[in-house]
Amino acid sequence: MQLSVPKDYLILNSNPNWVSRNFTRCLESLCLARKDNGFNRKVERQLLDSPFFSFFAASLTAILIGTLGMPIHGDEQILFDFESPQSTQEWKTVAQINIDIRAVPPFRKAASVPPRGQGITISTEGKSGLYTQPGSIPRDWSNFQELRLWVHRPKKEVEKRARTNLEIRLYETDSLASYWQQIELEHIGWKKISLSLNQFRWGKGRVPSWKEVSRFSFWFPANSSLSIDSIAVSTTPHPNAAYLSMHDLRAIAFPDTEDTDIQLTSTERVALISDTRELECQRLAQHLTTVAEAVSNDFPFLEPSTRLPRLLIFANQQSYRNFSPRLAATLHAKALPPASDGFTIRGIATSFWDKSQGTLRPVYTHEYIHALLTESFRLPPRGDWLHEGLATYYQLKYHPQENLSKMVLEGLANSEFRLPLADLCNGERIPQNRYWQAMTVVKMLLRDPQFSDRLPLLCQQFRRTGSTDLTKHLTTPLETNWLQFEHHWRAYCETQYGEHLAP
């Protein structure tokens, strides 16, 4: 007799407790085809109650835990099935929200194996949520591809609200970095939701890492009543499936271009994609490798990035302008076409080919630094003073500008040409005509002995919080205040770029 096992019972959680508490349910499912195979309930019961079954169950449980407890390539790993009475202990609630573990509502139709047994029922008046305790989910999600769950909306709920918004959030341990995705639910009854991890958006703090996931959360912006079951993740044989790959970017950036017309070049420091043959990719990659080595020499205390900084060079300006809105759409967001000659979005540096400036165009270096900082500092490219100051600093290092000293001196002489440092270094976006000023602040922090020894701790704090607001760090570790810092900066600029200027 050949026994048929439904696929969902071969979906195992890495937590051995799941195997133990669900094993009987799994073995009972072996008898689903009892009529076709000559089984009857009496024989089933005798089998399940027999000493042989107890021995077989214990042995097979040990085998399953030892050999199948890890995720299966191309399959699912159940995170929460809510079958255990202890399921609610793995979740904590925020604000006014009611949760209950109960038998799942019946289903009518389903495209795949539907939920069964118990699920979690949620009722809330909005601005509330629930999250898991640390340790309840796998820590490294980098090789997972999708998040999957079943969601049930009762008919009465749909009659009240045609649409319900559900946010799924995944946090790192300190909650200062997160991924999130919002789902618009419009269905009645059960529906299986599948979300690609590489389309999750970043939270407001530092750049998150799929290797550091600690807590899973549901958030309800408004009134909601629904049930959830069978929360799972899928795996693939491809490493780092949770991130946008070069293949993904190539498809988004150049959807109508033949593979033979695409240049893809990678070194240990950069990954380049371009759809123009005029660009000397190997030469540009070697140049950016030199730039990256200079950054490493200036910041030897930085941890190496786990992924290569990426730079996309488009054959024309219109294709370049089209990319940012197209990438944002894949992340279920919106973005305007960039107005500048270079733009970094989601840590991906972009620009376009200009024959008059050639392969070593300065903006390529500038945007590459933004991508490098995103990966190494884990600071999102928000156009703040540190991002723009460092990008401008290395741009000018390799592409000198003759009128730089004149620009700095004019800025010092006229208060309308500069910002108070408290306003410049508050972590918010700065205007392009103040990049020179951010560059001089960065250069002072790097080169002036009063601050250079304190730079490692300052960068560590920036990296931890994801914010470059210098106000929080003047006392520690810089040991100064805004008045002293401004005075020191002015004196530094006068020494570096010209004679003493009267206030």
- Tens digits of residue pLDDT in 260-278: 999 999 999 999 999 999 9
Q: What is the pLDDT of residue 306?
A: 77
- 145 — phi, psi (to 5°)? -110, -45
Lowest mean pLDDT among 146-155, 197-206, 296-305, 476-485: 296-305
Q: How far is CA 82 from CA 57, 191, 224, 259, in A?
A: 22, 17, 20, 47
Lowest mean pLDDT among 32-46, 133-147, 165-179, 200-214: 32-46
pLDDT of 45 > 70? The answer is no
pLDDT of 476 > 80? The answer is yes
Domain ranges of the chain: 7-69, 78-235, 244-381, 404-503
Q: How far is CA 51 from CA 23, 41, 196, in A?
A: 16, 18, 45
pLDDT of 29 > 50? The answer is no
Q: How far is CA 115 from CA 26, 87, 105, 408, in A?
A: 14, 16, 9, 66
pLDDT of 32 > 50? The answer is no
Mean pLDDT throughout 94-101? 92
**pLDDT category of residue 58 using cuts at 50, 70 and 90:** very low
pLDDT digits (tens, 9 = 90+) for 439-472: 999 999 999 999 999 999 999 999 999 999 999 9
Q: What is the pLDDT of residue 498?
A: 85
b/e code 214-240 from CB counts within 10 Å (16+ = b) = bbbbbbbeeebbbbbbbbbbbbbeeee
Higher-pLDDT residue of 183, 113:
183
Strand partners, 274: 263, 313
pLDDT of 5 > 50? The answer is no
Q: What is the pLDDT of residue 414?
A: 95
pLDDT digits (tens, 9 = 90+) for 374-431: 999 999 999 999 999 999 999 999 999 999 999 999 999 999 999 999 999 999 999 9
What is the Cα–Cα distance from 55 to 57, expressed in whole angstroms?
Answer: 5
Q: What is the pLDDT of residue 303?
A: 80
Q: What is the pLDDT of residue 110?
A: 57
- The single-letter DSSP state of residue 67 is I
Amino acid at 50: S
Strand partners, 264: 273
Percent of the chain beyond pLDDT 90? 76
Q: What is the pLDDT of residue 455?
A: 96
Q: Half-sphere exposure (CA, 13 Å, Cβ side) for 402?
A: 0
Spell out the residues 6+ positions from residue 210 whose beta carbon is closer than 8 angstroms to its own.
140, 141, 142, 144, 179, 197, 240, 242, 243
pLDDT digits (tens, 9 = 90+) for 124-157: 999 999 999 888 999 999 999 999 999 999 999 9
Mean pLDDT throughout 180-184? 96
Mean pLDDT throughout 58-80? 51
Helices (H), 404-447: 404-413, 421-424, 435-447
pLDDT of 48 > 60? The answer is no
pLDDT of 79 > 80? The answer is yes
pLDDT digits (tens, 9 = 90+) for 339-378: 999 999 999 999 999 999 999 999 999 999 999 999 999 9
Q: What is the pLDDT of residue 109?
A: 64
Lowest mean pLDDT among 228-237, 268-277, 302-311: 302-311
Q: Residue with structure tokens 């077989």? A: 56
Q: What is the pLDDT of residue 88?
A: 77
Q: What is the pLDDT of residue 112?
A: 62
Hey, what's the torsion of the CAs at 173, 178, 181, 182, to 10 degrees? Answer: 90
pLDDT of 70 > 60? The answer is no
For 78-235, which CATH superfamily applies?
A: Galactose-binding lectin (2.60.120.430)
Amino acid at 251: A
**pLDDT category of residue 106 using cuts at 50, 70 and 90:** confident
Mean pLDDT throughout 29-54? 38
Mean pLDDT throughout 241-246? 94
Higher-pLDDT residue of 262, 58:
262
The H helix count followed by the E strand count for the chain is: 15, 17
Could you tell me the fold of the domain covering 244-381? Glutaredoxin (3.40.30)
What is the Cα–Cα distance from 409 to 217, expressed in whole angstroms?
Answer: 52
b/e code 439-456 from CB counts within 10 Å (16+ = b) = bbbbbbbeebeebeebbe
Lowest mean pLDDT among 68-72, 328-332, 348-352: 68-72
Q: What is the pLDDT of residue 69?
A: 38
Rounded to the nearest integer, the mean pLDDT of the chain is 85
